[in-house]
Structure 1
Amino acid sequence: MKKDIKELLNFIKEAPTPYHTVMASAKRLLKAGFTELKLSEVWQLQPGGRYFVKAFDSTLLAFALGTESGPLRIAAAHTDFPCFRLKPQPEITREGYGVLNVEKYGGMMLRTWLDRPLALAGKVALRSADPFVPQVKLVDFARPLFTIPSLAIHMDREVNDEGKLNAQKDMLPLAAVGGEELTADFFHAWLAEQLHVEPADILSYELSAYPYEEGSLCGLNEELVSSPRLDNLTSVLACLQGIMAVDMAKMTGLRMAVLFDNEEVGSQTKQGAGSAVLLQVLERIYLALGKSREEMLAAIAAGFMLSVDVAHALHPNFMDKCDPSHKPVLGGGVVLKQAASQSYAGDTEAVAIVRGVCEACDIPWQHFVNRSDSRGGSTLGSIASALVPLRTMDIGLPLLAMHSARELMHGNDQRALVKLIKQVLA
């Protein structure tokens, strides 16, 4: 396995939730020489410095400061992905079976989650002396804990014709079988035991079930990569590699890698692309460097941002789902995503900029546009650039099985994506 793909799969393994994505990102930034800041503290910044700051543990903004004035360039991605989140009181007991009440996070392909071993990870808040500062633990129970078993075909003869699943009825994970010994609070009791605390000391949690399986190569020539969470950890790692590769001896101005949470549910949260967090961090950077707010606004107006998220590849079994003249394929390079509706960010100049960089640096690229009779998807670019109005282009690598529990990409597309982001942030 090539070194860069191995690094990607290791990163995905470390990142089963947005909290773990930020933790894995911070670890790499610290190793590369970045200094961590706190949103709740006053910043002392130095030209030539490299810094990062977390927002509510699931969003991260990393930046590099040139020693001279220059352009503002940003690469942004999102840290979250579709999954099942446990509800606050998840235990349901049925004839000695213990199942967990969960809800969907994001647009999931439900059938792909059936019959897979599922692990559990996230954040738990425990009682402390100060109610305003609970003790918080990041957890990853990295082993198979539950599964969502299918109904046998003998009991559902039309499953291959119909196959519709109800998220509340059909998708509850089986977690325990205990007969009369299974208590009504079986999950909370188990969680307290794992954390070595009393059940009453668990005040709240955000815990997600995730497929307990590692990514792998496939294809006759091992050119393909199959893994959970390719959407959008491919983009997260590419943005990190881009900001860490900035040549501080040559760079002028400000470069940023911004990793937002909650894109899969609309971005309208305190740590999402629809929040004030990017604008506030920009303002704090410019003020700490002795710049005026007017200078910051001028830099934004002249700046450029890549919104980096995966794109739909042409599916060999569903050719008619693609636009007839825009057919991005696996292995074809970076995808420039456009939509007249502006569900993807971009304008004439933004397309020209990215295409120009790609062609100057021999980076393969291709176009994606939705079929005119299909609504398609969206991402964070239009949302973030409406709040921080700088020219923005939506790009990503082509993907099959997007939002499945396991997705498929081509290794060469990740290499093209990383190369492009490094050039834009150079």
Structure 2
Amino acid sequence: MAHSFDTDTEAQGLIDYVDASPTPFHACEQAAARLAAEGFTEVVETEPWPTEPGRRYLVRGGSLIAWDTTGAHGAGAGPAAGFRVVGAHTDSPNLRVKPNPDHARAGWQMLGVEPYGGLILSSWLDRDLGLAGRVAVRGEGGGVEARTFHGRDALLRVAQLAIHLDRTQNEALSLNKQAHMEPLWGVGDEPGDFVGYLAEQVGVVREDVLSWDVMTHPIQPSTRLGRARELIAAPRLDNLATSYAGVRALLDAVATEPTHVPVLVLFDHEEIGSTSERGATSTLLPSVLERIVTAGGGTRDDYWRALAATVIASGDMGHATHPNYADRHEPMHQIQVNGGPVLKVNTNLRYATDSVGAAAFRLACEQAGVPMQTFVTRSDLPCGSTVGPVTSSLTGATTVDFGAAALSMHSTRELMGAEDPAMYAAALSAFLAPA
């Protein structure tokens, strides 16, 4: 039986997913756990690909890809059956810990960090911050083992300068990424022991900590907001809201056993250009799609035939019209929270949407019975981008970019409509399994 998309259930589901996913590694762990609970099994890239049809997923660091071949196999569609792909990303702007972070200044123990992505620096000031991430430790036989941890305690704070010491900051706050964004995490003239902290978190001795991918996160829980609780305030909605909806949609879509292969791919590193071994410009998506085809007995020609029959929907958050800055938005394309999924269009292809892809997404929204909005940025403002143009160019597949409406994108605390997660998941399910 297909899953239902109840508004309150999906809003709380998103909140739970975000709060459990302070890093891309945790976002993939959480997605994998939800997939495994519904019968998906993990595939390891270094092992032979299973040839029998089934529901499977693969994790590469902070990226995940999942698919189901049972419907296509049962319908006799053959290895050249096309794919329906929903793409999103797991990373969000934050402050990440440097390799040699410990130092002391003016009687404070400080931690060296580097801004990641296009974060709004001021939103990180005077927040209670925790640490989370992945630690590479010494394994048995001289190997390397990766362990994740999620520190939920208030540990750090990037302290703002008092108004008495700079009375101009309400008019023109200027923050230097090197000088002004280092968090304090203790008192003393001697540096703290970050490596010792990591060793405690992952359960090893200090000497076995080899390296890390550790980042800060605000520890304030996500919540429903507004007079009628019609809003969700949370960190990392860009783009965990799409990651969560994608997982829910895939689980719903596979219950109908579509005659093509539904795929969900969650990429890391979108916020810094996607150029990594697990970003959207990597081999992750093309290699997995090809291995799906060849494991089903297909040839290289079958793979290219399958790509020609593929449609990709690239999901990322979209800008709701801001009531205090309405002049920053295209007047004929006003976007509302709780107004349904947002089709994203840019004639210079910062978004990959063309008329064919737009039509496919519109039909999915109609099938799901949810409204659709269309976003175009002002012609005199630059336009952001996402994984859509990259996946389109790597695969040659028809691609459409879409999102869910939000305010305060790239802040430590973003805002979206509480009705949108359910509509988002419903539209993506219909896209993955068109009637």
Structure 1 length-normalised TM: 0.96
SS of the aligned residue for 1:92 comes to strand
SS of the aligned residue for 1:341 comes to coil
Q: How many Å apart are 1:247 and its aligned residue? A: 4.1
Q: How many Å apart are 1:160 and its aligned residue? A: 0.2
Letter in 1 for 2:56: Y
Residues in 1 aligned to 2:364 and 2:203: alpha-carbon distance in whole angstroms: 54
Aligned residue in 1 for 2:4 = none
CA deviations 1:226-249 (Å, max 9, x no partner) are 011111111001111111112456
Aligned residue in 2 for 1:413 = 420
Are 2:264 and 1:254 equivalent residues in the alignment?
no
Q: Provide closer, same or farther for how the CA distance between residues 362 and 196 of structure 1 changes in structure 2, counting only shifts above 3 A.
A: closer
**Is there any run of 5+ residues in structure 1 with no aligned partner, and where?**
none
Aligned residue in 1 for 2:3 = none
SS of the aligned residue for 2:362 comes to helix
Given candidates 154, 157, 162, the residue that maps to 1:144 is 154
Letter in 1 for 2:48: V
Letter in 1 for 2:66: A
Q: Provide closer, same or farther for how the CA distance between residues 145 and 404 of structure 1 changes in structure 2, counting only shifts above 3 A.
A: same
Aligned residue in 2 for 1:169 = 179
Residues in 2 aligned to 1:227 and 1:233: alpha-carbon distance in whole angstroms: 10
Q: Alignment identity in percent?
A: 38
Are 2:84 and 1:73 equivalent residues in the alignment?
yes
Given candidates 95, 99, 105, the residue that maps to 1:94 is 105
Letter in 1 for 2:152: A
Residues in 1 aligned to 2:318 and 2:256: alpha-carbon distance in whole angstroms: 34
Residues in 2 aligned to 1:248 and 1:317: alpha-carbon distance in whole angstroms: 44
Letter in 1 for 2:67: F
Given candidates 25, 45, 48, the residue that maps to 1:39 is 45
Q: Provide closer, same or farther for how the CA distance between residues 28 and 193 of structure 1 changes in structure 2, counting only shifts above 3 A.
A: closer
CA deviations 1:142-163 (Å, max 9, x no partner) are 1111111111000010010111
Given candidates 216, 223, 236, the residue that maps to 1:229 is 236
SS of the aligned residue for 2:400 comes to strand
SS of the aligned residue for 1:210 comes to strand
Structure 2 length-normalised TM: 0.94
Aligned residue in 1 for 2:66 = 62
Letter in 2 for 1:114: L
Q: How many Å apart are 1:199 and its aligned residue? A: 2.7
Aligned residue in 2 for 1:15 = 21
Name the Cα RMSD after superposition: 1.4
Aligned residue in 1 for 2:96 = 85
Q: How many Å apart are 1:72 and its aligned residue? A: 1.5
Letter in 1 for 2:95: F
CA deviations 1:44-87 (Å, max 9, x no partner) are 1323x1011111x2111100112231431010100111111000
Q: Which moved more, 1:196-205 or 1:71-80?
A: 196-205
Are 2:380 and 1:370 equivalent residues in the alignment?
no
Q: Provide closer, same or farther for how the CA distance between residues 253 and 343 of structure 1 changes in structure 2, counting only shifts above 3 A.
A: same
Aligned residue in 2 for 1:116 = 127
Given candidates 156, 164, 187, the residue that maps to 1:154 is 164
Residues in 2 aligned to 1:121 and 1:155: alpha-carbon distance in whole angstroms: 33
Q: How many Å apart are 1:193 and its aligned residue? A: 4.0
SS of the aligned residue for 1:120 comes to strand
**Is there any run of 5+ residues in structure 2 with no aligned partner, and where?**
1-6
Letter in 2 for 1:61: I
Q: Provide closer, same or farther for how the CA distance between residues 249 and 350 of structure 1 changes in structure 2, counting only shifts above 3 A.
A: closer
Number of residues of Structure 1 aligned to a counterpart in Structure 2: 420
Quick check: 2:8–2:418 contact (8 Å CA) kept in 1?
no
